[in-house]
A and B are shown apart, each in its own frame.
Chain A
């Protein structure tokens, strides 16, 4: 019997191993190659074991220099630069999804292997580098006792923070290094279960509307569709009253939002579904058109139906909008920031920086880098270009990029790394 068991286990594992990636597929850009669905009994998995940087740093293009602006943070996620140049870093980890199935216990253990052991800070740290030498003179805990803060926006003298369950407003005095007054709750955000807990945030160009990205409560509806009410959506929230309306739907996990500076349009990076194979479904970058339905959970990349959802909704699938630009399957895009005021110049003048946290659902590690998507006339114009790499070395993860923020005043790019708990600063070489 033991022998039969071993054979069976080997067969089960082999089923997973059969689903290899085809390197000839092009999965980026407006029209990605989409292979057939390949569900396996065990999904293809590869978790990069964490290792240290050992005084090394990410690899950036010639003409740029990268330094650690801050280390020993507590799970840095997103970054905001205030008008006076102070840098805010939201730190924390959220979600309280109960374990419902044997799988939930096993998957939790496996995924934890690729994460930091540090506990989330539930705070915002302020870094002040007034002389711009890449070494902050001031580092303070700007706001503490938050509940998994993620998205941040600064509008009209106030700081807005999207916690995992609420959008808060904090009054701010220029130069302030610490806020002790409690935040005013502008709007409660959907937070039951919070399978995807990150609440991304950006303000419209006129500052009147705050957009909040709210991820789905499951991969593909396996917690039941009842818990998906107000999930996989972007809300548009009136900044004065806190009243919200649903802006778009079916957008599985919009992890970062930003305004494209030449057109003032809202864009998002979105994480797509898992367990349909190593090369399904590509995560994407898209302009966000009001009223659009992006397919989740019923379909992906337009009208490609997902067989795992019952009952299916063919009529709704017909209305699904195709995203603008694929970033690759399972790259886990978590950061988005547009170059402004000419960016870094040259090839990095107009476009978007995107932080890719990296894959688990494929044998060939994918993502784990910051890419640049060139734009022209407010639309993507060309394949993505690696901007910061070296997060993987010898198959081990030294870091995992999350939020990226371009600071047009100093002409630097800041990258939050939630594995080594570092904020990297990338600047043109002087």
Chain B
């Protein structure tokens, strides 16, 4: 094995760890948003706000990783899943950023129908991104 490839293989789990955060945090934000809309207890909305910020921070690092990975696999068979992964993650992140501002509004406006919609979109997109991140690793191993 080429030394660079060996190094990549060794740090590959880091991608899984980084992706675990936005996947878990965006998903949890959907749950706490629903809890807020059901109960009107502000603490649920506060939870969502922090979950989304956490997803943005770790999602940003995961995105950086995904970009480098895309560049590396540009000429290989893994290009398509890598591209989908980057695109889905970027979109989840941008929607998450808008949602972070949405959740900074006060009381009911911090979530509402729009905030919940954004949370669900971020969750779906980050799950898509995760799906392709992990199938992508498998593809590379086959290659």
Interface residues of A (CB under 8 A from B): 1, 4-5, 8-9, 12, 39, 41-42, 100-103, 106, 218-224, 275, 297, 307-311
Contact = CB atoms under 8 A, between A and B. Distances in A.
A311 B41 CA distance: 11
Given A41-B102, A275-B106, A102 B97 contact: no
Interface of B: 40-43, 46, 49-50, 53, 63, 67, 86, 90, 93-94, 97-98, 100-110
Query: Which of A1, A219, A222, A309: most chain B Cβ within 10 A?
Result: A1
20 contacts: A1-B86, A4-B94, A5-B90, A8-B97, A39-B109, A41-B98, A41-B102, A42-B101, A42-B104, A101-B49, A102-B104, A103-B104, A222-B42, A222-B106, A222-B107, A222-B110, A224-B41, A308-B105, A308-B109, A311-B40
B26 to A, nearest CB: 15
B97 A5 contact: yes
A222 B111 CA distance: 12
Contacts of A39: 105, 109
A223 B109 contact: no
A8 B108 contact: no
Given A1-B63, A1-B67, A308 B97 contact: no
B13 to A, nearest CB: 23
Contacts of B109: 39, 307-308
Contacts of A308: 105-109
A243 B107 CA distance: 34
Given A5-B94, A8-B94, A310 B107 contact: yes
Contacts of A12: 97-98, 101
B100 A309 contact: no
Contacts of A275: 105-106
Contact of A224 (B43, B94, B102, B105): B43
Contacts of A1: 63, 67, 86, 90, 93
In the A-B complex, list the 10 residue pairs whose CB atoms are closest, starting with the nearest: A41-B101, A103-B104, A222-B106, A308-B107, A1-B90, A224-B42, A310-B108, A8-B94, A222-B107, A310-B40
Given A220-B106, A224-B43, A297-B107, 5 more contacts: A1-B67, A8-B97, A12-B97, A41-B102, A221-B106
A297 B86 CA distance: 44
Nearest to B111: A310
A308 B115 CA distance: 13
Contacts of A4: 90, 94
A5 B93 contact: yes
A7 to B, nearest CB: 8
Contacts of A42: 101, 104
Given A41-B101, A224-B43, A309 B107 contact: yes
Query: Which of B43, B86, B93, B94: most chain A Cβ within 10 A?
Result: B94
Nearest to B110: A222
B111 to A, nearest CB: 10
A220 B98 contact: no
A291 B143 CA distance: 79
Contacts of A223: 42
Contacts of A221: 42, 106-107
A24 B140 CA distance: 64
Contacts of B42: 221-224
